[in-house]
Structures are given as C-alpha cells and as structure tokens.
C-alpha cells in the first residue's frame, strides 16, 4: 500500500475547503483519481492533527492510497501514516529515515536547482519541486522554477519528481511533459465546487498524455 505513486498528489488545506470538512474533500478527491494525499495543516493543534490523520488514513485505506504527513514526524509515527514530507528546514532526512524505517515513504521539498542536486545524495522516495508557478498557498516562495526548471531538474535527478505550485487542469500536462512523474495540487481540488470531478479532469488529462 505504501508504494509511491505521485501521479496526482493532493495536499490539504482546510482554509481553502470552503467550510467543508477536509476529510469529505479528500474522500471525493480520491474517488476522482488522486493517488497520494498529504495532510498539511500548519495551524492544527497536535491532538486535532492526530485525530484528523487517523480519520483520513481510515478513509484512504479502502482505496490503497497512502497518507503522507507534512513536517510532523511525531504525527506520522503516532498515526502510523505511510509517509512523511519534509522541507529544507525540517528534521534531516537521515534522522527521519532512521526513526521511520525503510518501508515508509519520505519526500523532500526542493526549491532550487542546487537543492535538487544536493537531494541526489539522499535516498528519499521523491522530491517535491516547489513552486513551479508562484501561488497564494506558499507565499513565502516568490521565485518560481517554471517549466524550464522542471525540465532541467528532470534531466539529472535520480528521484521521482512531484511538481507543485499553481498547477491545475490547464497546465498539468505541460509539467508532466517537462519530466515530472506527477503533480501535486492544493486549491485546484480543495477549492473546487466538485472535488471529485476536479480530480477526475486532471487525472484524465495526465493519463491521456502518458498513454
């Protein structure tokens, strides 16, 4: 179940869910074709985060979709999530791997060409290229990699590549064509009036290109 398939990777943000329970949005998105889910809730108290992780893991289990926890190693352990996503300033990969074990998925955010080269020294399961385009969900990242940045990193990276940042149904294929193994989306699904249909549209466009 915990094999990495980042073709359509959903990253959560309750603030963008239009008042709907995020677990409902996640379930609908997975029914539409999402292949991985990252629970990213920066302002969530620990107990609430844990309970939410357990709930979403239970929802994902019948679909065989792995749950990845953003930043919080303690929550990933406590909820027995399938993986952890870390940033450049989070717990070092080697420590996370030692604690989580070899069977868990660990992803690493990469925000530049140089960071992508450094990541080649690590045995992470995937790298998350961020941002491809500037986006309101990550306002602290003001320099976009762009399509050319994705293409350059894909030319030398030994890792599975997930692109994130301003991605939607209109530009998803361009990013996969540039060399990304998958795309991660936030608002394009979380804020959609119909998350299942939004996920299905993106998934179908990617699948058509990969055929």
Domain count, the chain: 1
pLDDT at 188: 97
Q: What's the pTM value of the predicted model, to 2 decimals?
A: 0.94
* Start-to-end C-alpha separation, the chain: 24
Task: State mean pLDDT over 71-99.
Answer: 97
- Cα angle, residue 108 at apex, residues 116 and 192 outer, rounded to 5°: 110
24 assigned to some structural domain: yes
pLDDT at 116: 98
Q: Measured between alpha carbons, how far is 127 from 63 in angstroms, rounded to an integer?
A: 24
Q: Measured between alpha carbons, how far is 124 from 175 in angstroms, rounded to an integer?
A: 21
pLDDT at 2: 46
Mean confidence (pLDDT) of the chain: 94
User: Are residues 167 and 185 in contact, defined by beta-carbon separation less than 8 angstroms?
Assistant: yes
Q: Which helix (H) or strand (E) covers residue 190, if one does?
A: helix 187-190
Q: Measured between alpha carbons, how far is 88 from 167 in angstroms, rounded to an integer?
A: 21
Which residue did the predictor score with more confidence, 209 or 190? 190
The per-residue pLDDT for range 4-55, each reduced to its tens digit, is 899 999 999 999 999 999 999 999 999 999 999 999 988 899 999 999 999 9
1 assigned to some structural domain: no
pLDDT at 110: 97
pLDDT at 41: 87
The per-residue pLDDT for range 122-163, each reduced to its tens digit, is 999 999 999 999 766 555 555 899 999 999 999 999 999 999
For residue 75 the two structure tokens come to 């929550």
Given a cut of 50, whether residue 1 has pLDDT beyond it is no
93 assigned to some structural domain: yes
Task: State mean pLDDT over 163-179.
Answer: 95
For residue 30 the two structure tokens come to 């997975």
3 assigned to some structural domain: no
Cα 72 from chain centroid (whole Å): 14
140 assigned to some structural domain: yes
Q: State the residue range of the domain holding 106.
A: 8-210
The catalytic residue positions are 40, 109, 138
Given a cut of 80, whether residue 211 has pLDDT beyond it is no
Q: Measured between alpha carbons, how far is 127 from 141 in angstroms, rounded to an integer?
A: 16
Query: 86: domain CATH number?
Result: 3.20.20.70
94 assigned to some structural domain: yes
pLDDT at 79: 98
Residues 6+ apart with CB under 8 A from 52: 22, 23, 39, 41, 44
47 assigned to some structural domain: yes
């Amino acid at each position: 179940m915990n094999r990495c398939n980042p073709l359509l990777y959903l990253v959560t943000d309750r603030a963008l869910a239009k008042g709907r329970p995020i677990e409902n949005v996640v379930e609908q998105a997975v029914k539409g074709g999402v292949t991985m889910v990252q629970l990213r809730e920066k302002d969530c108290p620990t107990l609430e985060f844990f309970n939410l992780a357990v709930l979403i893991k239970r929802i994902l289990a019948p679909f065989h979709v792995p749950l990845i926890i953003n930043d919080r190693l303690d929550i990933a352990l406590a909820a027995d999530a399938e993986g952890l996503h870390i940033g450049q300033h989070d717990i070092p990969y080697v420590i996370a791997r030692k604690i989580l074990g070899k069977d868990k998925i660990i992803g690493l955010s990469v925000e530049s060409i140089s960071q992508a080269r450094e990541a080649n020294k690590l045995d992470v399961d995937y790298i998350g290229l961020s941002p491809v385009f500037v986006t309101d969900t990550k306002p602290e990242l003001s320099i976009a990699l762009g399509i050319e940045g994705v293409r350059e990193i894909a030319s030398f990276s030994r890792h599975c590549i997930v692109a994130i940042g301003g991605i939607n149904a209109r530009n998803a294929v361009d990013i996969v064509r540039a060399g990304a193994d998958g795309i991660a989306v936030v608002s394009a699904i979380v804020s959609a009036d119909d998350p299942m249909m939004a996920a299905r549209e993106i998934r179908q466009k990617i699948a058509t290109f990969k055929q």
